[in-house]
Each structure stands twice: as structure tokens, then as C-alpha cells.
A and B are shown apart, each in its own frame.
Chain A
Amino acid sequence: MTLTPTSFSPAAAPAAAPPPPALIQLREVEKTYAGRTGTGAVTALHTITLDVPKGAILGVIGRSGAGKSTLIRLVNGLERPTRGQVIVDGTDISALDERALRHERRSIGMIFQHFNLLARRTAYDNVALPLEIAGVSSAAIKNKVMPLLDLVGLADKARRYPAELSGGQKQRVGIARALATDPKVLLSDEATSALDPETTEQILALLRQVNAELDLTILLITHEMSVIKAVTDRVAVIDGGRIVEEGPTFDLFTRPQHPTTRSFVSSITGNELPAHLASRLSAQPLAGSQVLVRLTFTGGDASQPFLSVLTRKLNIDLGIIQGNVDYIGGHPFGTLVVSTPADQAHLQALTDASRELGLQVEVLGYVA
């Protein structure tokens, strides 16, 4: 059969199908707190619009006070928006009365920074709590709780009290508890902020696992870029109650647009210049000065030997000031700061040749 242009009609191409509607949709949401007497109202969130696609892990990153706690609590109705809509799986959460909201919350699990486990209940009984609340029979609870403890790797700790568990184990119980009522959505409120880096990694791996195995949509908030890097598909950067940038995680890391995003990205990629160099940097070339250029390489570019290609092709000397290669979602992403004599023709040739190789080029300044 001959391939004809008609066989590429949009109807026949699955890739052209419209994307499924997002599982969580925030529509121009605003949240204002009435001030105490004598002070004005405080606006925590300004017209936030955000979509979390079904099955995705979306991270919201922001500094403390940026409004991320308020944002995540809008999704399960712990906070009500002052304006706008919060839609979860087609249901407008913001329009529900208390009774309907309580029922809806069973399909939205939540985990917390300080775990919030009941101290006087064992791991088993903590996981059973949401089922008891939902009125599930104790026989059915038993069939549900043990597989969940197994899933989070704590089957042997069922009879232990939270005080007998480590931080990571407590958060595993928290995750099992959040999954008990088979939710569609998991909200993670700084779930790894109280854990050490190694435990954080294990908990994030568990989140990725439940995301994939249970087709669970995860919305997490954090102030740590390493969490965003390790686990999310998409990121929203929140600052002063506004989402200043949103997109696929890899794009945000490699091409941050907003200054807040840049500062978060540099906090983890370490591509801020060391202070002794940054303080000597000037915008204009001086006699005999060197120019500092940042080369950013992403994806497939990262594996080519561009440094030797550049030096050979341009016959120039490049000093390495700083460098870093990172992997985001399995894709390499690196930055390299190089120095070379500050000569305009020279610099132009370097810039052109680098762009030809698919690198991003940024002139940082000149040092004497």
C-alpha cells in the first residue's frame, strides 16, 4: 500500500487527539484572609490558574509565605477560595457544601511534613483510620490495610506505634494512610522537608512508584528544588501569591525565565559564580581582561565533546571556571563557565560556533 497524504489526516493520528482535561484545575482562584481588627485584608493568592494533568506529578515550589500551603489546601477544601473555581475530576470543590465536601475528600489523599499520625494508634490502626471514618467494616479494613502496609514496605511494623518508627517509616505510614480510600489525587504538603536527604530520596521513589502503579495524580508543594528535580513532571513556581512560571520540569531547569525560577534553579545546579569572581565581574571589557561565558548544554548535546571541538575549530584557549552536569528526568543537563581573552571577534566566533553545536551561550561579564 502506498502512503498517501490522506493517511495523515488528523483523525487518523492518535498524537493529534486533544489532551485529556486536567484532573485538578484551578480557575482564577483568589484567596483573601480577613485581617484582624485594625489591619487590612491579606491576599494569600492572586488569580491562580493551574492545571494538573491526570497521572502527572506536579510540583509547586516557593519560599515560605509564598502561598503554597494555601494553594494545596484549596484542592481538598481545607481552605475555601474567595473567588474562582477549584475543580477536581470534574467536581467543583469550591461549590460543595460541608457534607458533600467530606465525601469528596475520600478521593483526595494528603500527606504532611510532620506526618500527623495518631500517637496512640499503631501503624495498622493509623492506616485504618480513614476507612473507619468512611464507615468501612472491620473485615474489609483488614483486607485493605495489610496490602497497603506491604506496598510501603512496612508489613512487619503493623503493630508498632509511631514513636517506635523512624521519620521515613512514619511518612510511609502516612502515605499508606493517604492511599487507604483509593484516592485519585495525592496532595503532598512538604512531605520530605523533615527528613534527611537519603530518606527523602526513598520517600520520593515511593511517590514515583505509587504514581506509576496506581495511576495517581500527585500535587506536591516544596521549597526544595532537589525534590522538584527528583520527582516531578511539571513545576509551577509561586512567588508572592502568584504563579510566575509553569511548565515541564526539564524546560524550567534548562530555560528558567523568571528571576525567582532562576534563583531556585541556581540553588541546585550550582551555576552561581563563586563570590570572589562575581564581585570582580564588570559589564565592560578592560585591557587584558578575560570574558566569562556560560555554556548550557541539554539533552543530546550533552554527550558530544564540544569543548575539544570548539578549541580545535577556533584555535582558542578556554579555561574552565565552573562546571556541572545534572540529570533531570533521565535527561542530561549541564552548565560550563569558561574564560577566554576578551577580544570582540574572538567572542563572536566562540558564540557562533557554540550555537552551531546546539549550546546556549550567555556572556556573564569581564574580569581583569
Chain B
Amino acid sequence: MWPDVFSPQILNLLISSFGQTLYMVGVSGLIGSLIGIPLGVFLATSRSGELFAAPWINSVLGLIVNAARSTPFIILVVAIVPLTRFLAGTSIGTKAAIVPLTIAAAPFIARVIEGAIRGVDQGLIEAARAMGATPMQIVRKVLLPEALPAITLALTLTVVSLIGYSAMVGAVGGGGLGDLGIRFGYQRFMPDVMLTVVIVLIILVQGVQSLGDFLARRFDKRSRF
């Protein structure tokens, strides 16, 4: 049973699938962060009376974020095929899978970043205002740096979720570890491949979480004793 897993073909498949997973999660996580972090900061600072008070825009964006987050991922993948084709030039393959992953990641990141920013003590915002800081200076010098430990944990959570989502993009030929597990382990009755995929995923998630925890602890200067 085990020799199958380590046959050159299967091993190559494992390695390339691992690479595809990293590629999909990495790129969608990066683009998702570029959209989600500013969006999250805005959501956290634009209710009435806040730094960038724009309650209407806040509500509308909040609705859009909620709508995106409540759509089951597998439905999102097939529903946005035209958009995927427009952006990636194709609707199948690893590159195409990045589009739905990014669209799922951005609102998720926006919400976790919003939570992290809202966790910053209001007194610090008041102190910065009293120093004559502009709203942008408050974001750059107070909110983002002070929230960094929480932001690190939030992005760790995002990456772990994206690893899970990436298993579903096999539906559009996205490849990756999850796809390998389904196609070989389930559809071709190779439980050893399935088991190996699951073990690799567990190690990957564990590694990501440990790195995130380590960095968050390093960034956190509140508890040094």
C-alpha cells in the first residue's frame, strides 16, 4: 500500500500539488490582503463619529462584505466564471482558481482586520488627535502598528481558511493538494494518497499557525514579564 504513495509518479503529483496549493493560497492571500486590509481599516473607522465617518458607505460596504461571506465558496467558484475568464483569461486551471479564492479572501480579511483595529484602545486615538495627528497619520502610526499582533493572528486565520478553500477549486481544475486527494484518493480508491494529502495539509496548517503565533508574540510588547 505505502509503496504506491512513494512511486515517482505519485510523489511528483504530491510535490506539484503542494506547489499549486502554496501558489494559490499565496497569491490570493496577497491580493486579498491588498484589498481586505484597507477595506477592514475603513470598516473599523467609518461609523458615525469615527475618524473617517461615512456611515452610509460603511453600511453599504458592510452589506457587500456580508453577502460575499455568506455565499458558499463552491457556489462562488461557479457563479463568477465569466469574471474569472475576464480576469485570468481562462476559467480553468490553477491561475483561474486564484480569482474566486481572492474574492472569498478579501471580505474575510476585511472583517478580521476590522476586529483587530477595533481592538485598539480608543484612548490612543484620542491621544493622537490631541497631538494634532491627521486621520491618515493615526492609521499609519497608531492603529496599524498597535494592532499588528492581532493583524498577524487574523492573517494567519485567513491563510488557514484559504488552504481549506483551495481544496474546493478542483471543481474548476484548480489543482492543489485537496484536488489530488479527491481525484486519486477518493475517485481512484487510493486511500493511502488521501491519507498522505491529509497529513501534509495538517503539517502545513500547523506550520502556518505556529509561525503566526510566533510572530504575533514577537510583535506583542504588552506582556514582557
Contacts and interface: CB of A to CB of B under 8 A. Distances in A.
Nearest to A101: B132
B72 interface: no
Contact of A110 (B130, B145, B146): B130
Contacts of B200: none
B145 A181 contact: no
7 contacts: A102-B133, A105-B132, A114-B123, A116-B123, A118-B146, A163-B225, A164-B225
Given A112-B123, A133-B141, 19 more contacts: A103-B132, A104-B132, A116-B121, A116-B127, A118-B145, A119-B146, A119-B221, A119-B222, A120-B148, A121-B145, A129-B128, A129-B131, A133-B133, A134-B131, A134-B132, A163-B221, A163-B222, A163-B224, A164-B225
A306 interface: no
B221 A133 contact: no
Interface residues of A, number: 28
B219 interface: yes
Given A116-B121, A118-B145, A132-B141, A78 B130 contact: yes
Main secondary structure of the interface of B (DSSP, over half): helix
B124 interface: yes
Interface size class of B (residues with CB under 8 A): 20 to 34
B135 to A, nearest CB: 9
Interface of A: 76, 78, 101-106, 108, 110, 112, 114, 116, 118-121, 129-130, 132-134, 161-164, 181, 187
Interface string B210-222: 0000000001111
B219 A120 contact: yes
Contacts of A161: 221, 224
A76 B127 CA distance: 11
A132 B137 CA distance: 10
Contacts of B141: 129, 132-133
Contact of B126 (A78, A101, A102, A119): A78
A108 B127 CA distance: 12
Interface of B: 121, 123-124, 126-134, 137, 141-142, 145-146, 148, 219-225
Contacts of B133: 102, 133
B130 A120 contact: no
B134 A102 contact: yes
A102 B222 contact: no
Contacts of A108: 130
Contacts of B132: 101-106, 130, 133-134, 181
A112 B127 contact: yes
A133 B135 CA distance: 11
A189 to B, nearest CB: 9
B125 to A, nearest CB: 9
By Cβ-Cβ distance, the 7 closest A-B pairs, closest first, are A105-B132, A116-B127, A130-B131, A116-B123, A102-B132, A161-B221, A110-B130
B147 to A, nearest CB: 9
